[in-house]
Amino acid sequence: MPKVTVDGQEIEVPNGATVLQACELAGKEIPRFCYHERLSIAGNCRMCLVEVKPGPPKPQASCALPATEGQEIRTDSEMVKKAREGVLEFLLINHPLDCPICDQGGECDLQDQTLFYGRGASRYHENKRAVTEKYMGPLIKTIMTRCIHCTRCVRFSEEIAGVDEIGALYRGEDMQITTYLEQAASHELSANVIDLCPVGALTSRPFSFEARPWELKKTLSIDVSDATGANIRVDSRGREVLRILPRNNDDVNEEWISDKGRFQADGLIRRRLDRVWIRRGGKLEAALWDDAFAMIAGVNAGSSVAALAGDLLDCETMFAAKKLLGALGSNLIESRQTGMAYDVSNLAGVNFNTSLAEIENADTILIVGSHVRWEAPLLNVRLRKAVKRGAKVFIVGPQWDPTYAAEFLGEDAGVFHDLPSHVTEAFGQAERPAVIVGAGGLVAGALGPALAFAQQHNLVRDGWNGFNVVHTAAARMGALMLGFAQKGGMADIVAAQPKLVLSLGADEVDYSQFPGALKVYIGHHGDKGAHAADIILPASAFTEKAGTYVNTEGRVQFSDKAVFAPGDAREDWTILRALADTLGVSIGFDSFDQLRATMIAEVPALGQEGLAHYGALPLAPRGARATGAIAYPIKDFYLTNPIARASETLQRCSAELLHGQDFAEAAE
């Protein structure tokens, strides 16, 4: 490991480190625009200039210069100071002075670095260059005159998302960043370029002119749009969530987030349930809480009660519902709304055991029944990294564009039992083999054969567990840890024909299967479940309550309350607690803290942030076979949950990016 001296301080740096990284290890801040830790080195903004000896007597770009033994690096010399001032002076030659109306204002790297490293005035008086705006779709607003050609957006699209949709045209002062043929950027991670852009060239179209960053309250939360559990920050003003941004977590989402998770924010204020409704004479009528509770109590259901959990629920709500049904003498609880009935007696058999971070190190991967780009976009980013490192990927299911080299083996799940010889050879030679079973594979009965495959090819070995299931619902693993599932799935609930059905935001259930039951919908949006309900009790969305979530890899994470629910809506657990009083039973808690403490006492893993440990894989059931054509459950990436379906932004994304609908601008 080479030793270098930074401003008189001698430090040891890792082999292969750059001068910029050496300076940061020494605690020195190096300004930069084009350099980003997760992207390739471009070296084209020249802002990170430092003085290095031995070397030419001129400032050098530290991001592209390797750190070598004996270097003397100066970050604060007069030469470096003047060089940085000159770079900023050049960058500002054509940059418009529109900070007061720029959405990047207050969060702008160019603004901040000009303040700290720039000159007090410009010596240039030539006319500024103007660049026409580019259309990048309904999510990204462009003002390309502000662009400083850092190419972060280009490198992200090519290297991380794997979609070559953004590039540079022309040369010199005529250079422009644009999408191919000026079409909309249409991949699932496109809006991450908004966070990467160091100036106001690429900003959020839905958030345009909404607020300044210092006006917003920032709350740490978890994304519930899929089962990846991306760490997010919820920015709110008053009782309204204005935007959602990613948080850095190298174990889960790095610093990316899907477009759906980012832009479903406006769906939190539309189609909201903010008062109690009771269906009378086939029509819903506004009512009081007491009227609804009295109607529920009047059913005299006894123990003939079922609870169905939706895909966005926190663990506390499901635990409260389970305690309520237990007090009533019922065990009719289920979270797999669409009828899946896979074995959940051993959670290691339905978990993403490799972990999201470690799947990058796999060298041979078999994906069975999962459209990963739509079901878990951030997992697809990890798989791209694995392929870059030489991994071979084989996919069983209908074709889709994975953004990396992969071989499709057919649509029939039966292919699983008769894999081509080159696939079995690849697994036989693999050091870190992995299988990933998606929702389509679970429906086709591929879980048992996948377990047999794992045993046959030794997918579990010292320091490596290559058996993985990727879920599509944020609530799924938490529900399974709480035992919120029947052995026979929804079929058991339907067979019991309960008199009272409590729907906890369950919008994907076919409620016509319960013709004689009183259906009570406890949720936050007027979606499919509310349309079928006899009684609607308004509840809180995920941003309006604290909660515990478990992602598809079994990682326990906590979310805080950002805003209050609208109107008469209440937090879900308080509704269930009041319902317990109405039905004359005790469920053992009177506050959220008591609820969480009781839940952790029964399931200790839910009290420790981080990966839960489920033990060894279960043995494969004998004679299990997967049959039939695999079908992916997600038909429209942008409209998979009630919040997303209420979002005007995501409705437009679905119409324009998936279905080819054209939208006229206001002037047209």
DSSP code, position 397: S
539: β partners:
570
Spatial contact of 595 and 589, defined as CB atoms under 8 Å apart: yes
Residue 637: its H or E element: none
Each residue's pLDDT tens digit, 36-73:
999 999 998 999 999 999 888 899 999 999 999 989 99
With contact defined as beta carbons under 8 Å apart, do 134 and 142 qualify? yes
pLDDT digits (tens, 9 = 90+) for 143-192: 999 999 999 999 999 999 998 888 888 888 888 888 876 677 778 999 99
Please report the pLDDT score of residue 338 as a whole number. Answer: 87
Comparison of pLDDT for 230 and 123, the residue scoring more = 230
667 pLDDT above the threshold of 80: no
The pLDDT of residue 134: 86
The closest of 103, 325, 334, 304 to 203, measured between CA atoms, is 103
**CA gyration radius for the chain?**
27
d(CA 190, CA 595): 39
At 231, is the secondary structure helix, strand, or coil? strand
Domains and CATH numbers, the chain: 3-91 (3.10.20.740), 99-204 (3.30.70.20), 276-294+302-341+475-611 (3.40.50.740), 353-469 (3.40.228.10)
User: Would the CA dihedral through 285, 286, 291, 297 be positive or negative?
Assistant: positive
Under 8 Å CB-to-CB from 49, ≥6 apart: which residues?
59, 60, 61, 62, 80, 83, 84, 87
The conformation of residue 18, written as its DSSP 8-state character, comes to B
- Residue 498 in contact with residue 325, Cβ under 8 Å? no
Torsion 87-90-94-99 (CA) sign: positive
CA–CA distance, 181 with 166 (Å, rounded to integer): 10
Mean pLDDT throughout 564-576?
Answer: 95
269-307 residue pLDDT tens: 999 999 999 999 889 999 999 999 999 999 988 889 999
| Percent of the chain whose predicted confidence (pLDDT) is above 90 | 81
Q: What average pLDDT does the segment 422-428 reach?
A: 93
Q: How many CB atoms lie within 10 A of CB 178?
A: 23
Q: Which residues lie closer than 8 Å to 154 by C-beta, 6 or more apart?
A: 166, 167, 168, 177
pLDDT of residue 455: 92
- Cβ neighbours of residue 232 under 8 Å, at least 6 residues apart? 220, 221, 222, 223, 244, 245, 246, 247, 257, 261
- Which residues does residue 168 pair with via DSSP β-bridges, in sequence order? 177
* Across 103-108, average pLDDT: 92
DSSP string computed for 90-155: HHTSS----GGG-TTTTS-HHHHHHHHHS-SS----SPPP--------SSEEE-GGG-----HHHH
Q: State the Cα angle at 354 between 350 and 355, rounded to 5°.
A: 95
Our CA angle for 621, 623, 629, nearest 5°, is 100
pLDDT at 261 over 50: yes
Q: Is 647 in contact with 263 (CB distance < 8 Å)?
A: yes
Alpha helix positions (H), 5-67: 19-25
| Confidence category of residue 264, pLDDT binned at 50, 70, 90 | very high
User: What ranges in 204-358 are assigned the alpha helix state H?
Assistant: 259-263, 289-297, 315-328
Q: What would the mean pLDDT of 546-561 be, rounded to a whole number?
A: 96
Does residue 256 contact residue 245 with C-beta atoms inside 8 Å?
no
Q: What is the DSSP letter of 266?
A: G
d(CA 46, CA 34): 8
Task: Identify the CA nearest to 432 among candidates 458, 396, 452.
Answer: 458
Instruction: Give the pair of three-digit tokens for residue 407.
Output: 């071989």
Q: Give the pLDDT score at 663.
A: 59
| pLDDT at residue number 320 | 96
Average pLDDT over residues 471-495: 93
Average pLDDT of the residues of the chain: 92
Q: What is the pLDDT of residues 492-536, one digit of tens each?
A: 999 999 999 999 999 999 999 999 899 999 999 999 999 999 999
Smallest CA-to-CA distance from 555 within 189, 230, 221, 220 is with 230
Side-chain half-sphere exposure of 595, counting CA atoms within 13 A: 25
Residue, of 668 and 646, whose pLDDT is higher: 646
DSSP state of 184: P
- Residue 232 phi/psi, 5-degree rounding, is -130, 165
Q: Quick one: angle between helices 572-582 and 289-297, nearest 10?
A: 50
Distance, CA of 590 to CA of 254 (rounded, Å): 38
For residues 439-464, give the mean pLDDT. 92
What is the structure's pLDDT at 668?
Answer: 45
Region 104-109: mean pLDDT is 92
